[in-house]
Each structure stands twice: as C-alpha cells, then as structure tokens.
C-alpha cells in the first residue's frame, strides 16, 4: 500500500476559473473505469510545458510539441491504458486524428489540442474507442472535475494524486490546483510522468515557463522509483488570468515569488505522492547529500544510492546493511573523492565517519531507524557548500510482480 498517502477528498480540490475538465470511459484497457480526460482552457490562458528527454518519445509528445509551436493550446486530451509510444507513423497519425476529433467537437482547430497518453508501450492507440467516448467527455466539461480526472489518468497507481492551495496576492485570492499520475517507470529527467497544474493568476509566458522549469527541478526532477525515464513524461502549468491580479511580467517581484512558492510546493507534494505510491513501495526514502563541490555531484551521489537495487531491497527488508549505502557512495563516480572526509547517516545515527565505521554505532540503533516507514539517508562529503536531495522508495516483491504482470 502507498506509504502514508491517501486519496484526496473531492471537497478539498478547488476549481480553477477558466479551466474545465471532462471525463469519459473509452474502454482502452478496462471497461470498469474512466480513462479519458478532456481539459478545456479559456481563451487567453498561458500554458507552459516540459516533456520527456527520452529519445524514443511517444507520438503524443511529438504532436503536442508541434501544436504548441503553432498556436496557443485550448484543449488537452489525456488517455490512460495506452502510451502510443514506439508506434511509428501510425502512432503519429493516431494522435493527430484524436486531436482532430476534439477540434470537430469543439469547433476549434486540431493544432489547438495537445494530446497526452500513458500506459503500455508499443501498442497502437485505439482511435475509434477514443472518438466514440469523446462526446461524453465534452458534454460533462465542468470546473469541479479534478477529482474524477485524477483517477482517470491513473495506470498502476493505487492512489489518485491531487492537491489545491490558495494564497492572497495584491488583494486577490489566487488558487493553484494540480494533479499527477505515476507509480513505475519513474525517473522523470524533466518533469513527471503526467502532471497538470493550473492557477487562475495572470502570468506572462516567459515568467510561467521559468516557474515550471524551476519548480520541476526541485520536485519532479528529484524523484525516482526505478531509474527508468518514460517515453511519455509531460508536465503542464496553466495560468488563466481569471483571478484579476496584475499580470506578472517578471519573476523577481513579491507577487511572482509568492505564486512560485505555492506552485513549487504543489509540485513537490505531487512528486512525493508519486514516490509514496511507487509500485510495491513500503518505505519513503529521502536521500540528502551535503557539502559537495556543486549540486551536480551531490545529485550524482544521491541518485547512485537511490538506484541501487541492493540499497532498495535492504530498505524493504528493514535490514541495516549500511555497507550497501557505503558501496553506492564509493561507486558514484565523483572526481578526486577523499574517503577520509565522508560521513554517512541513517536518520540521526552516524554509520560512517572519516571513511570508517562510526565508533558509537550499534546494530540496534540502525535497526530502530530501518523499522520506520519514512527514512532519511544523509551523506556529507566535506568538499564544498553545495547540497541536494532526492526522494525514492524501496523495492519489494510487489514491484517485480506488478511489472511482470503489467500486460496481463
């Protein structure tokens, strides 16, 4: 079960003026739940996006990039159950056909539609099923469908991931609501599997772009389940301007900084929710690397620990086998590594100091930390002033089972 994570209450997810969401069941993978989401953006909405860096990016990613270059988005179309990735020219045409179907319904243009897909890779998208379900999604477009939408975009997720926050800026109430999906094939290397965050604030395009980029760097770009970067990762930040605030034309103002703080907080909570709902996860693990020369080497050490199957399985077993952490730090590949300066902590318990076993460490102390379901690993390098943090989870029997049976 997810680590200290529960489904958000529908009542706490606040609507965003200028954003409507419609839900339908296309029966792409299952007839038992909704799997199609249509998001309508009012004219004038500013939209920022980040996409996967996987060279085998999915067809919808290619089409979405192309459309966004041509015009401002008015609709987002999301399906779960099929990634439409590794599908060649037929996949590109399928994504385009779905966009055209939305345009026909909405009396819009196909390039005003951004498509997004998640699910099994290498299978052709069932366009006919999506076209048949689209009228239902279009008919139930409403501002208060965030709860249903967060469920509809799930694949192997157990818990829907969504959050809302409000803040007062310049006498105006600003709302931020976001949702995300992701549970496996998680090392975003850009943003997240699929994430959609909206605000009713008025924000100029370049400012919104920077807000998304910076927020993602400190949230979605700092999580990993299994080290696999998906073909379909996408993160979207929308600003409708309906709150009536003065347009934020610079990120270096009190108003913009206040809004960014909320967006960054929403992004980080959604990112943490993805880790807490990692496939088969039983522990939420924070890895802090401190006193590095720069953040890049701190991140390098942190991800080496986070991606170690030996560390992750020890975490699942609640086994204080700290030699696995030490070994991961040692093979992280940073230059001119001085082992005599390294210290490693499990929670508040020092495991290694000066490159040697800590004098006061006992197995009992280590076991007390490992028995918890939220664990912090801290490494100090004593090389500089840089710090970085990565979040991950353990590897359990269920991770193997879920992925072994993913298509069955």
Give, in degrees to the nearest 5, the angle at Cα 236 between 216 and 281. Answer: 60
Distance CA 279, CA 153 (A): 16
Cβ neighbours around 376 below 10 Å, total: 16
My answer on whether 232 and 120 are in the same domain is yes
**What is the token pair recorded at 126?**
């069932």
pLDDT tens digits in sequence order for the chain, 408 residues long: 799 999 899 889 999 999 999 999 999 988 889 999 999 999 999 999 999 888 889 999 999 999 999 999 999 999 999 999 999 999 999 999 999 999 999 999 999 999 999 998 999 999 999 999 999 999 999 999 999 999 999 988 999 999 999 999 999 999 999 999 988 777 877 655 799 999 999 999 999 999 999 999 999 999 998 888 788 889 999 999 999 999 999 999 999 999 999 999 999 999 999 999 988 899 999 999 999 999 999 999 999 999 999 999 999 999 999 999 999 999 999 999 898 999 999 999 999 999 899 999 999 999 999 999 999 999 999 999 999 999 999 999 988 888 888 776
- Of 26, 392, 50, 391, nearest in space to 214 by CA: 50
My answer on whether 241 and 214 are in the same domain is yes
My answer on whether 318 and 241 are in the same domain is no
In a domain, 141, yes or no: yes
My answer on whether 16 and 67 are in the same domain is yes
Catalytic option among 87, 192, 224, 240: 192
The maximal CA–CA distance of the chain, rounded, in angstroms, is 72
In a domain, 120, yes or no: yes
In a domain, 202, yes or no: yes
**Could you tell me the pTM of the whole model?**
0.94
Evaluate whether 295 touches 20 at the Cβ level (below 8 Å).
no
- The CATH number covering residue 365 comes to 3.10.20.340
**What is the token pair recorded at 240?**
């409708």
Domain of 376, in residue numbers: 284-404
What are 172-225's pLDDT values in tens digits? 999 999 999 988 777 877 655 799 999 999 999 999 999 999 999 999 999 998
Distance CA 321, CA 247 (A): 54
Detail the DSSP E strand segments found in 85-125: 113-120
Q: What is the number of domains present in the chain? A: 2
Cβ neighbours around 327 below 10 Å, total: 15
My answer on whether 271 and 289 are in the same domain is no
Catalytic site residue 389?
no
In a domain, 328, yes or no: yes
- What pLDDT sits at residue 191? 57
């Amino acid at each position: 079960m997810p680590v200290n994570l529960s489904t958000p209450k529908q009542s706490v997810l606040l609507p965003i003026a200028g954003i409507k969401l419609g839900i339908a069941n296309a029966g792409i993978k299952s007839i038992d739940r909704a799997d199609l989401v249509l998001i309508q953006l009012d004219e004038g909405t500013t939209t920022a996006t980040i996409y996967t860096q996987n060279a085998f990016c999915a067809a919808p990613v290619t089409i979405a990039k192309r459309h966004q270059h041509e015009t401002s988005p008015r609709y987002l179309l999301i399906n779960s159950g099929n990634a439409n990735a590794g599908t060649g020219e037929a996949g590109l045409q399928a994504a385009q056909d779905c966009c055209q179907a939305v345009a026909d319904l909405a009396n819009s243009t196909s390039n005003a539609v951004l498509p997004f897909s998640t699910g099994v890779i290498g299978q052709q998208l069932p366009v006919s099923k999506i076209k048949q379900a689209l009228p239902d999604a279009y008919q139930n477009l409403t501002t208060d469908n965030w709860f249903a939408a967060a469920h509809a975009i799930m694949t192997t997720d157990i818990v829907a991931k969504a959050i809302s926050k409000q803040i007062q800026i310049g006498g105006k109430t600003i709302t931020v609501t976001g949702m995300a999906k992701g549970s496996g094939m998680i090392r975003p290397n850009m943003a997240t599997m699929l994430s959609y965050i909206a605000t009713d604030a008025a924000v100029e395009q370049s400012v919104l772009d920077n807000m998304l980029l910076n927020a993602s760097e400190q949230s979605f770009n700092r999580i990993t389940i299994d080290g696999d970067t998906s073909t379909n990762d996408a993160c979207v930040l929308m600003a409708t301007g309906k709150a009536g605030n003065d347009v934020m034309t610079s990120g270096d103002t009190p108003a913009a900084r206040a809004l960014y703080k909320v967006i960054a907080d929403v992004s980080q909570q959604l990112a943490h929710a993805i880790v807490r709902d990692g496939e088969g996860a039983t522990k939420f693990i924070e890895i802090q690397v401190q006193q590095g020369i720069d953040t890049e080497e701190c991140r390098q050490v942190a991800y080496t620990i986070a991606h170690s199957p030996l560390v992750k399985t020890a975490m699942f077993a609640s086994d204080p086998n700290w030699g696995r952490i030490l070994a991961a730090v040692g093979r992280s590949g940073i230059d001119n590594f001085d082992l005599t300066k390294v210290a490693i902590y499990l929670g508040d318990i020092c495991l290694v100091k000066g490159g040697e076993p800590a004098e006061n460490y006992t197995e009992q102390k280590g076991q007390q930390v490992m028995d918890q379901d939220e664990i912090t690993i801290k490494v100090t390098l004593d090389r500089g002033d840089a710090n970085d943090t990565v979040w991950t989870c353990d590897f359990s029997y269920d991770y193997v089972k879920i992925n072994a049976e993913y298509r069955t």
